[in-house]
Amino acid sequence: MTDTPDIIYTKVDEAPELARASLEPIIRAFAGKAGISVETRDISVAGRILALFPDYLTEEQRVSDDLAWLGELVKTPSANVIKLPNISASMPQLTAAIKELQAKGYAIPDYPYEPKTDAEKEARARYDAVKGSAVNPVLREGNSDRRAAKPVKQYAMANPHRMGDWSKDSKTRVASMDGNDFFANEKSATITAAQAGGAKIVFTAEDGSETVLKSGLKYLEGEVVDATFMSAKALEAFIRKEIAAVEPGVLFSVHLKATMMKVSDPILFGHFVKVYLEDFIAKHGAELKAMGWNPNSGLGDLESKIKGNAAFEADYKAVMDAQPPMYMVNSDKGITNLHVPSDVIIDASMPALIRAGGKGWGPDGKEADTVCCIPDNCYAGVYDETIEYFKEHGKLDVTTCGSVSNVGLMAQKAEEYGSHPTTFEIAAKGKVEIVLDSGEVLHSHAVEAGDIWRSSTAKKAPILDWIALGVARYKATGSAAFWLDANRAHDAELIKYVEPALKEAGVEIPIMAPREATRFTLETMVKGQDCVTITGNVLRDYLTDLFPILELGTSAKMLSIVKLMQGGGMFETGAGGTAPKHVQQVLEESHLRWDSLGEFCALGESFSFLSESKGNAAGAIMGKAIDVATQKVLDNDDSPKGRVGQNDNRTSHYHFARYWAEAVAAQTEDKALAEAFAPIAKALAENEEKILAEIHAAEGSPADLGGYYLPDEAKVASVMRPSATLNGIIG
């Protein structure tokens, strides 16, 4: 990795990509003046697809495999990456991207749903490497430290967002299985020196015939290896029971993470679709299958397949009407909770519902109490306890509550979020075993057809790094807990690492099961005290949306630092996603309400890190100036708002650029740098009215981006950089 640029900025999709088109030219120009190089690497869905199919493309169409390059970079000390949220593509998103690329003249194959030939199998494997959460696990070679920067928290306390009221007799609740789920069936072991080495996963049918589900596994000494499964029969019985138990006026909903848990959760989602539509499928199952419909793809796909078939449509409507009303993703557009698996994103949906006072949106466009099915018990208790807490105490007072930050075990594909290659839908009754090269059976489970079996692991070095990071953040914050359940197999293995490490560090941090830790954290924060949640990978994801969405109104403003294990740094923006709704608004009226505060925070950290890691003095000055600018954007309320004519993403970038330039011009450590920025600061200030007028003039009518997954660069630039005056000053 010679000649690595000082800072890498990632090109992504949807709203953060539009924001990049406006912000990155400013960053590049300013950094250039300080002798700091900034380059872009493409991790968009389209970019990732094209990188994997060079043999289908012309010479001019070929692109480099930037994700692979970045995957190597993050394993080196010279990594300094600003990572914006990227799409974890569901099937509907992946197929839409393929279609768009084909229409634009890229001769890539269709997605082979049922690959038969070797070429189809090969193409399928390539596409599956793009599907779901395919970027984050590759780049996250470090553990996660997510918190709100001080000014961000202070702003939220002074400008409280809207919170729904909680009523003591709210019928909103979490429903989970009685057992036979991933939680109950989990087995876990820490690999000894004698056990370290190769392993395979073997399915043995009742007749004794063996199928190797996965070979070539390698376990290191100290690695925690889990195996578990969820019974399909028990899952369907649970869903049936919960649908029947929904009281009148209450909505039915399911909350999973089909993007991140890309193998298991679309299957779980499919079971919900199957049971909800049981009568319809019983009547038309064979024809639906012939139409190529699979419950895992959801009601959206079903509706498009039966469109125009009056008999089917009538039966479908009758069945839908007979079931309890569903919680909606978009009630205006008739998009239900069971339409598209990628819309079922628990870390976004549950906090939004809790922030609203336990209310979801129903098909009638009105808010209502909601039964929230979270089938597995590993983490459901967190949401259940939060809901119970607010029922008892009423809504959170965001003007006084403390700040909840997170240290998450994430490095090297830790835990469930690294389990895609070792998750299987079981074909028949039998047993699944992890067999070590020595012949020793590490874990064994009796399973039935349809059960979802999976194995997750966490390596020793990341575990120790995570504990150390947790201790450091605890010392800086004053209150913390390890969210580990001594009664869960995996957590019990981790506790064996945590207890001695805490003793050695001489600190006492409580270890609590997730439900208990939820209450502890809520009680600490309502007292106005800050608190660190030290968690595994899944709770890292869930809690860094839950608490920020309650405290700050959104997780977009989080500072998200990944201290890479090999010494580099990755600075993620926010804790949420790519806000597809924001793109819709741009297409309709050229107003982008995406808030780049996450990018500003990450940028400041990245420049400061440059000074620490490479002794780059200009980096330190630029980083400090960014912090000043970020504070000013908040103080002056320059952040984007929702409507045309108000501040938007582009006007916020103008203000940020101006404050940044002013802060560099005002500092006295580096005279030459101050002089270089003085005229820029002056020009930006003098032209404020003109620049803002040019940006606002471009609003109110539809925008043409020339595509969705592969937009036209020039068109995006003209939408996102409409001020000739600003562009001239930035140069």
Ligand X SMILES: O=C(O)CCC(=O)C(=O)O
Ligand Y SMILES: NC(=O)C1=CN([C@@H]2O[C@H](COP(=O)(O)OP(=O)(O)OC[C@H]3O[C@@H](n4cnc5c(N)ncnc54)[C@H](OP(=O)(O)O)[C@@H]3O)[C@@H](O)[C@H]2O)C=CC1
409 and 540 Cβ atoms separated by less than 8 Å:
yes
Q: Is 561 in the site for ligand Y (CB under 6 A)?
A: no
CB of 545 to ligand Y, least distance (A): 8
Q: Which is nearer to ligand Y, 190 or 297 (CB)?
A: 297
Pick from 541, 572, 595, 699 the residue near Mg ion by CB under 5 A.
541
Pick from 217, 534, 562, 579 the residue near ligand Y by CB under 6 A.
579
Pick from 13, 301, 347, 491 the residue near Mg ion by CB under 5 A.
347
CB of 544 to Mg ion, least distance (A): 6
Alpha helices in 53-202 (DSSP H): 66-73, 91-103, 118-128, 136-139, 150-158, 182-185
CA angle 654-656-657, nearest 5°? 65
Residues 119-178 close enough to bind ligand Y by CB under 6 A: 136
Contact string (CB under 6 A) for ligand X, positions 74-93, x = contact? --------------x-----
Alpha helices in 578-670 (DSSP H): 580-589, 597-614, 617-635, 649-666
Residues 526-545 close enough to bind ligand Y by CB under 6 A: none
Nearest to 452 by CA among 226, 264, 306: 264
Residue type, 409: L
Alpha helices in 408-513 (DSSP H): 460-477, 489-505
Q: Is 339 in the site for ligand Y (CB under 6 A)?
A: no
Residue type, 3: D
Which does residue 172 bind out of ligand Y, ligand X, Mg ion, none, counting CB within 5 to 8 angstroms by kind?
A: none
357 and 164 Cβ atoms separated by less than 8 Å:
yes
What are the beta bridge partners of residue 89? 132
Contact string (CB under 6 A) for ligand X, positions 549-578, x = contact? --------------------------x---
Query: Residue 137, annotated ligand binder?
Result: yes
Judged by CB under 6 A, the stretch of 21-29, 371-379, 577-585, 666-674 that binds ligand Y is: 577-585
Q: Is 139 in the site for ligand X (CB under 6 A)?
A: no
Q: Is 594 in the site for ligand Y (CB under 6 A)?
A: yes
- Residues binding ligand X: number (CB under 6 A): 9
Judged by CB under 5 A, the stretch of 93-101, 218-226, 347-355, 386-394 that binds Mg ion is: 347-355
Q: Which is nearer to ligand X, 353 or 625 (CB)?
A: 353
Q: Which is nearer to ligand X, 139 or 498 (CB)?
A: 139
Q: Which is nearer to Mg ion, 24 or 541 (CB)?
A: 541
Token pair recorded at residue 496: 């064996």
Q: DSSP class of residue 35?
A: T
571 and 520 Cβ atoms separated by less than 8 Å:
no
- Residue least distant from ligand Y (Cβ): 577
Residues 342-361 close enough to bind ligand Y by CB under 6 A: 345, 348
CB of 384 to ligand Y, least distance (A): 21
Contacts of 692 (CB under 8 A, 6+ apart): 651, 654
- What is the C-alpha separation between 367 and 162, in angstroms, rounded? 15
Radius of gyration (Cα) for the chain, nearest Å? 26
Judged by CB under 5 A, the stretch of 39-47, 343-351, 386-394, 711-719 that binds Mg ion is: 343-351
Q: How far is CA 473 from CA 12, 145, 308, 463, 530, in A?
A: 30, 9, 59, 15, 11
Token pair 């950089």 in the structure block, residue: 721
Contacts of 15 (CB under 8 A, 6+ apart): 578, 579, 580, 582, 583, 586, 592, 594
534 and 482 Cβ atoms separated by less than 8 Å:
yes
Nearest 5°: phi and psi at 273? -60, -45
CB of 347 to Mg ion, least distance (A): 4
Q: Is 260 in the site for ligand X (CB under 6 A)?
A: yes
Pick from 259, 342, 616, 630 the residue near ligand X by CB under 6 A.
259
- What is the C-alpha separation between 310 and 488, in angstroms, rounded? 51
Nearest to 302 by CA among 287, 321, 323, 324: 287
What is the number of alpha carbons within 13 Å of residue 178 lying toward its C-beta?
8
Token pair 């064994």 in the structure block, residue: 444
Q: Which is nearer to ligand X, 20 or 140 (CB)?
A: 140
CB of 575 to Mg ion, least distance (A): 6
Query: Residue 135, annotated ligand binder?
Result: yes
Pick from 80, 86, 606, 608 the residue near ligand Y by CB under 6 A.
86
CB of 17 to ligand Y, least distance (A): 11
Residues at the contact surface with Mg ion, assessed by CB under 5 A: 347, 541
Residues at the contact surface with ligand X, assessed by CB under 6 A: 88, 133, 136, 259-260, 347, 541, 544, 575
Binding residues for D-threo-isocitrate: 146, 540
Binding residues for Mg(2+): 347, 541, 545
Residues at the contact surface with ligand Y, assessed by CB under 6 A: 85-88, 136, 259, 345, 348, 554, 556, 574, 576-581, 593-595, 598
